[in-house]
Structures are given as structure tokens and as C-alpha cells.
């Protein structure tokens, strides 16, 4: 989620002055959220996604003169924040074209929590449920986050472990390890096939696509009949595969689509078997 | 919280410091003590990893901002490229940061990672692969934060230097110009 996107109009066609005007106007309407595009996740100013690693190709640091603070949209919030380090220039508007949105360095904690939670929900909706943006997968999971996948993997592991009558710990550990390692390996697979996908975005995607299987596992835990289990698992499996398909297939060369998709489906199918077979 | 008090006297943000340390200590303590009380590996795993994840979030989003004024995150730009962003407060605010706060922040960050490494070595020696998994996850979360914030701090320092040289350079050129215009 690039900064420019937090402003209602597309940044590439914006002049600096327009952006500043938009900020002023947006600030007047209050709220911490400036949605950039309709269904996109609440682009509340700045992303606080999480994950580690590599190098920034370029570092867009706030202009050295005034990197701090906060733009109009958080004036009220800034007053209630426990610390507002950028005291003097708290309600300033950065004039840098790329760094104009409100600065989350000084936002209250509750806002951060809310923003992250909203992002998880919107990512889930984007990936798993039908929506117009699925066909443009690059945009759909722009604000990747790993919290959703984390919850789903743990939940799936717990459900499987609960359903197991013996060796509960091993079941959990194995489920967690397989899902986590599987996601990493599948991502590497796509990358090695010459695909254009970002590591964490792909991890995030594969994790979110576990949601249907997690639901299926929950249902199977509560329901003992094998036939019903098989039906439920196949439905949720199909749902998971359908969810994962557009993202993976657009990431690679069309001739290598099958090579990239096959391991993904294989992993989900084996999880499905695991769910059915557990007793 | 008043940040105007003389630094070095007291923590400026005791609540944040407390939370910063709380989840780290809780994860470590639970992991170490759980072997005595809890039989189920699953519970140990889930609780420890959950606490570690909470700690990661708190450090990245709350205490990093408040205690040292740094923040890092990842964005995907319009071309679909992944971009890491690092951000810091402006120089005067950074200078006003409480020294004790930042001391606590950095030291606990490094210390936790070292503790997890030790625990990892223990479980490796005892051939407990599943506990190694727990340690691995917690360790990677700690290291992620360390790397992120260290990069951030380096960027902040670089920024100071750039700013300083730019200011000096601009002052120099402006004084040169004024000198020449007089002539």
C-alpha cells in the first residue's frame, strides 16, 4: 500500500498541491481512514503490516526536514495519545508529495489495533470470497499480513489435534510444521519457476486460503459421520483451491501454470485427507 | 506523559516499557516453567507462540514508535514490487527521547533473542524437535524485530548526516551567492 494510495485520487496524476488540498479536505471530514479505492482494505493512512527482512530497493524516508507528524486526520486522536513525540509540529502537513498521509508514528494504540484487525478481515474477504478484485490478484492482496494465516494455521492445528484421540501433540506439531513449511516451499517453487510473486504476499495468500479448510475441519470435528466428513471436506477443498488459483496462475508463465498449481493443490488435498482420516 | 522531564531520571513511558517487557518475559517464563506444570505440548506451543506474536506486534507497532520513535514496514507499490519502508521522528523529537526508555528497548530486544538462542540449544541437545519448533518461531519473530529496528536506526543516522551536509551545503552556497551578488 503505497502512500499515494491513501489519498482519494490516484497519486500518479496528482500534483503536490492537489494532495495537500485533499488532505485538508479529508481532515475536515475526520476519521482516520482515507479509503483509496472502493473495496480495498481500509487504507487508514499508513500500513503497519508486519514482516521481516530484506533490503529496501529505495528508502522513502520522510523528508529530513520534517519527517514527523501527523496530518489533520489525527488531530483529536493525537491529543489523547499517551505520548506525542512530535509535539511542536503535531498538526502539520508534510509537503512531500509521496509522504503526505497522516503519520502513524504518533497515533494512539487503539487505532493501530483497529487498523490491523480491519486489514485481516478485508484480506480474508478479498482472497477467499468472490469479489470483483480477484481477477487482479496483484492488487487484491496488496496489504498482505501474516496474522490471518497465523491464526488459521494454529486453528487448523488445534482442531486436528482436538479431533485426534491419541498423539495429540504430534498431530498439532506435524500439522503446524507441514502447513508452515509447505507454504514456504510452495512460494519458493513459484519463485523458482520464474514467477513474479512476492515472498510474503504469497505466504499470506496460501495462509488465507486455508480458511475454508479450517472451517471444514471444525465441522468435521463436530460431526462424526464419515460420509458427511467427506462431502464437507471436498467442498471446502474445492473452495480453497478455487481461492488460490487466480493468484498462483497469474504469477507464473502460462506454460508453467500446472507446475506451480499442482503442489498447491496437492498440499490442500493432503490436508483434506488428514482431516477426514483423523479420528 | 510529560516528555519534558530531564532524561535519565525516570522512564518517560512506564506503561509502554512495562508492556514491552511483559510479553517477552511472559513467553520466556511460560516456556521455561511450563515443563513443570503443563503436560500438553500443544498448549505450551500455542501459548508461547501467541505471546511471542503479541510481543512482536507490541514492539513493532507500539513500543518502537513510543520509546524510540522508529517504525518499519513493508509495502507493495503499484508495480507490484515489495518495498521496505523505514521511518523515524524528526531530529528534535529523537533528541528528546528518554535515554532510559531507549536503553531498555534495545537491551531487552537483544537479550530476548539471546535467551531464545540458548533455549534452542538446550532443546537441540535434548533432541526435542517439537520444542525446537517453538523456539524457532519465537526466535524468528525476535530477530525480525531486531533487524527491522536496527535498519531503521541506521537510516535515521544516515538521515541526520544527509540533513546536516545538506544544510551546510545550502548555507555555504547561499553565503557564496550573497557574497558574489554583493560583488
pLDDT digits (tens, 9 = 90+) for A85-117: 433 333 333 333 333 344 566 677 788 888 888
B60 in A contact zone (CB under 8 Å): yes
| B76–chain A nearest CA distance, Å | 6
- Measured distance CA(A182)–CA(A194) in Å, rounded: 19
> What is the number of residues in chain A?
279
Residue B144 in grid coordinates? 525480525
- Measured distance CA(A138)–CA(B57) in Å, rounded: 26
Restricting to A residues 54-83, those with a Cβ less than 8 Å away from any Cβ of B are 54-62, 64-69, 82-83
- Measured distance CA(A125)–CA(A41) in Å, rounded: 9
pLDDT band of B82, cuts 50, 70, 90? confident
Collect all residues of chain A within an 8 Å Cβ-Cβ radius of residue B87.
Answer: 61-62, 67, 103, 105
B73 in A contact zone (CB under 8 Å): yes
Lowest mean pLDDT among A62-66, A187-191, B65-69: A62-66
Collect all residues of chain A within an 8 Å Cβ-Cβ radius of residue B129.
Answer: 173
Q: What is the DSSP letter of B68?
A: I
pLDDT at residue number A31? 40
Neighbours of A50 (CB within 10 A): 23
B18 in A contact zone (CB under 8 Å): no
Judged by DSSP in three states, B70 sits in strand
Instruction: Report pTM.
Output: 0.69
A138–B80: do the CB atoms touch at under 8 Å? yes
Mean pLDDT of chain A: 69
Please state whether A31 falls in left (phi above 0), alpha (psi between -120 and 50) or beta: left
- Measured distance CA(A121)–CA(A113) in Å, rounded: 13
Range of A125-134, B44-53, B70-79, B149-158 with top mean pLDDT: B44-53
pLDDT at residue number A145? 84
Give the closest residue to A6 by CA, choosing from A97, A105, A106, A92.
A97
In DSSP terms, B74 is beta-bridged to B84
Residue A150 has pLDDT above 80, yes or no: yes
Minimum Cα–Cα distance from A60: chain B residue? B85
Assembly ipTM: 0.75
Give the closest residue to B119 by CA, choosing from B23, B28, B30.
B28
User: Scanning the structure block, which residue is given the C-alpha cell 490436508?
Assistant: A271
pLDDT band of A35, cuts 50, 70, 90? very low
Contact B2, B13 (CB under 8 A): no
Q: Report chain A's C-alpha Rg in angstroms.
A: 22
Q: Report chain B's C-alpha Rg in angstroms.
A: 22
CA distances from B104 to A169, A247, B151 (A): 37, 43, 18
Restricting to B residues 99-128, those with a Cβ less than 8 Å away from any Cβ of A are none
Phi then psi for residue B38, to 5 deg, are -110, 135
Selecting from A68, A82, A112 the residue whose C-beta is nearest the C-beta of B89 gives A68
A51 in B contact zone (CB under 8 Å): yes
Burial environment of residue B152 by CB neighbours within 10 A (0 to 12, 13 to 18, 19 or more): buried
- Measured distance CA(A176)–CA(A230) in Å, rounded: 22
Percent of chain B with pLDDT over 70: 91
B130–A104: do the CB atoms touch at under 8 Å? no
A131 in B contact zone (CB under 8 Å): no
Restricting to A residues 250-269, those with a Cβ less than 8 Å away from any Cβ of B are none
Contact A68, A93 (CB under 8 A): no
Mutate to test the interface with A, among B40, B84, B148, B150 (most CBs of A within 10 A): B84
Residue B139 has pLDDT above 90, yes or no: yes
Amino acid at each position: 500500500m503505497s502512500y499515494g494510495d491513501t489519498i482519494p485520487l490516484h497519486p500518479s496524476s496528482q500534483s503536490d498541491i492537489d494532495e495537500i488540498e485533499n488532505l485538508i479536505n479529508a481532515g475536515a471530514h475526520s476519521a482516520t481512514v482515507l479509503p483509496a479505492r472502493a473495496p480495498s482494505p481500509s487504507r487508514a493512512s499508513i500500513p503497519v503490516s508486519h514482516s521481516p527482512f530484506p533490503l529496501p530497493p529505495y528508502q522513502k524516508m520522510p523528508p529530513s526536514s520534517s519527517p514527523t507528524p501527523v496530518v489533520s486526520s489525527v488531530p483529536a486522536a493525537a491529543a489523547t495519545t499517551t505520548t506525542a513525540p512530535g509535539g511542536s509540529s503535531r498538526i502539520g502537513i508534510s509537503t512531500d508529495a509521496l509522504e503526505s498521509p497522516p503519520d502513524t508514528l504518533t497515533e494512539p494504540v487503539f487505532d493501530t489495533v483497529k487498523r490491523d484487525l480491519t486489514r485481516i478481515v478485508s484480506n480474508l474477504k478479498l482472497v477467499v470470497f468472490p469479489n470483483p478484485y480477484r481477477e487482479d490478484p496483484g492488487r487484491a492482496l496488496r496489504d498482505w499480513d501474516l496474522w490471518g494465516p497465523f491464526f488459521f494455521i494454529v486453528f487448523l492445528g488445534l482442531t486436528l489435534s482436538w479431533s485426534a484421540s491419541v498423539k495429540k501433540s504430534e498431530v498439532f506439531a506435524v500439522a503446524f510444521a507441514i502447513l508452515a513449511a509447505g507454504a514456504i516451499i510452495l512460494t519458493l517453487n513459484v519463485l523458482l519457476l520464474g514467477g513474479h510473486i512476492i515472498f510474503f504476499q504469497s505466504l499470506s495468500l496460501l495462509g488465507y486460503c486455508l480458511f475454508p479448510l479450517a472451517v471444514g475441519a471444525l465441522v468435521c470435528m463436530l460431526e462424526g459421520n464419515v460420509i458427511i466428513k467427506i462431502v464437507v471436506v471436498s467442498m471446502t477443498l474445492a473452495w480453497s483451491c478455487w481461492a488460490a488459483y487466480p493468484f498462483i496462475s497469474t504469477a507464473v508463465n502460462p506454460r508453467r501454470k500446472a507446475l506451480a498449481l499442482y503442489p498447491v493443490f496437492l498440499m490442500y488435498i493432503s490436508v483434506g485427507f488428514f482431516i477426514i482420516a483423523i479420528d | 506523559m510529560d516528555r519534558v522531564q530531564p532524561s535519565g531520571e525516570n522512564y518517560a513511558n512506564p506503561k509502554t516499557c512495562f508492556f514491552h517487557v511483559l510479553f517477552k518475559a511472559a513467553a520466556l517464563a511460560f516456556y521455561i516453567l511450563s515443563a513443570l506444570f503443563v503436560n500438553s505440548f500443544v498448549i505450551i506451543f500455542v501459548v508461547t507462540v501467541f505471546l511471542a506474536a503479541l510481543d512482536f506486534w507490541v514492539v513493532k507497532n507500539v513500543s518502537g514508535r513510543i520509546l524510540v520513535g522508529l517504525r518499519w514496514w513493508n509495502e507493495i507499490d503499484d508495480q507490484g514490487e515489495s518495498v521496505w519502508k523505514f521511518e523515524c521522528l524528526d531530529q528534535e523529537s529523537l533528541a528528546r527521547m528518554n535515554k532510559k526508555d531507549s536503553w531498555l528497548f534495545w537491551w531487552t530486544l537483544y537479550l530476548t533473542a539471546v535467551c531464545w538462542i540458548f533455549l534452542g540449544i538446550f532443546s537441540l541437545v535434548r533432541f526435542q524437535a517439537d520444542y525446537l519448533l517453538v523456539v524457532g518461531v519465537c526466535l524468528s519473530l525476535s530477530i525480525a524485530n531486531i533487524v527491522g529496528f536496527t535498519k531503521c536506526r541506521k537510516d535515521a543516522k544516515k538521515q541526520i548526516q544527509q540533513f546536516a551536509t545538506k544544510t551546510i551545503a545550502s548555507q555555504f552556497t547561499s553565503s557564496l551567492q550573497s557574497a558574489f551578488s554583493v560583488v
